[in-house]
Amino acid sequence: MDIGRKLRSLRIQRNLTQEELGDRCELSKGFISQVERNLSSPSIATLMDLLECLGTTLQDFFSEQAEEKTAFSPEDMFVKTDEESLKGTITWLIPDAQKNKMEPILLDFGPGGRSYDMPPHEGEEFGYVLSGSIFLVNGGKKTRVRNGCSFCLHPREEHHLENAGKSRARVLWVSNPPSF
């Protein structure tokens, strides 16, 4: 573990200069610089002081968390076939997206397909029609959204999407908070 690099990263995340961190810990700016460049090693007591000033603990600092994955391939995605309502597939583009603030999915509608009714909720939803044409049904209002067009709504009413044509329709749908 690169202790100096990790300390520097925490300091920068907290918007502190080396001098500000040093003042809080009663250490010199030069010592903080040496520690961050791994030219000096702090004692355990000094490291605990530094971490306290940075709002963390020894346990959290030394816990090795897996690096967060940011790019995903088709093997990472989850596909669910829904021949009953959608007459196509739902693809979750990000694994475990339900734990995030947004949830991007790809809907592939067969002719006559429709998404499930979504209840009103706080947040926003965005969609982009990749192919075909769909109807956005929001409360009592039905709006046609064609290939290459998008929609954005603050879902205050029950809503869903329907395939508006006789061919397949594909829609990228992003919901905040996750709703699928």
Per the model's pLDDT, the better-predicted residue between 32 and 63 turns out to be: 32
3-state secondary structure of 118: strand
Token pair, residue 77, equals 């995605």
Please tell me the predicted confidence (pLDDT) of residue 152: 95
Please tell me the predicted confidence (pLDDT) of residue 23: 93
Residues in CB range of 88: below 8 A, 6 or more apart: 81, 82, 107, 108, 109, 110, 113, 168
Please tell me the predicted confidence (pLDDT) of residue 66: 61
Please tell me the predicted confidence (pLDDT) of residue 97: 73
**Average pLDDT, integer, range 43-58:** 93
The per-residue pLDDT for range 128-173, each reduced to its tens digit, is 999 999 999 999 899 999 999 999 999 899 999 999 899 999 999 9
The per-residue pLDDT for range 63-118, each reduced to its tens digit, is 876 667 889 999 999 999 999 899 999 999 998 777 788 899 999 999 999 999 99
**Average pLDDT, integer, range 42-60:** 92
Please tell me the predicted confidence (pLDDT) of residue 157: 94
Across the beta sheet with 78-82, the strand order is: 78-82, 88-92, 103-109, 169-176, 124-131, 150-153
The angle at the Cα of 87, spanning 85 to 90, to the nearest 5 degrees, equals 85
- Spatial distance between the Cα atoms of 2 and 12, rounded to a whole number of angstroms: 16
Closest of 161, 63, 77 to residue 117, by C-alpha: 161
Please tell me the predicted confidence (pLDDT) of residue 8: 95
Q: Look up residue 105 and give its amino acid.
A: I
Does the pLDDT at position 41 exceed 70? yes
Lowest-confidence range among 2-6, 48-52, 83-87, 95-99?
95-99
Does the pLDDT at position 180 exceed 80? no
Does the pLDDT at position 54 exceed 70? yes
Please tell me the predicted confidence (pLDDT) of residue 95: 84
Does the pLDDT at position 177 exceed 90? no
Residue 141 vs residues 59, 81, 156: alpha-carbon distances, Å = 54, 28, 12
Does the pLDDT at position 38 exceed 90? yes
All structural domains of the chain, each given as residue ranges with its CATH number in brackets, are: 3-62 (1.10.260.40), 74-176 (2.60.120.10)
Helix (H) or strand (E) holding 49: helix 44-53
8 Å CB contact between 40 and 31: yes
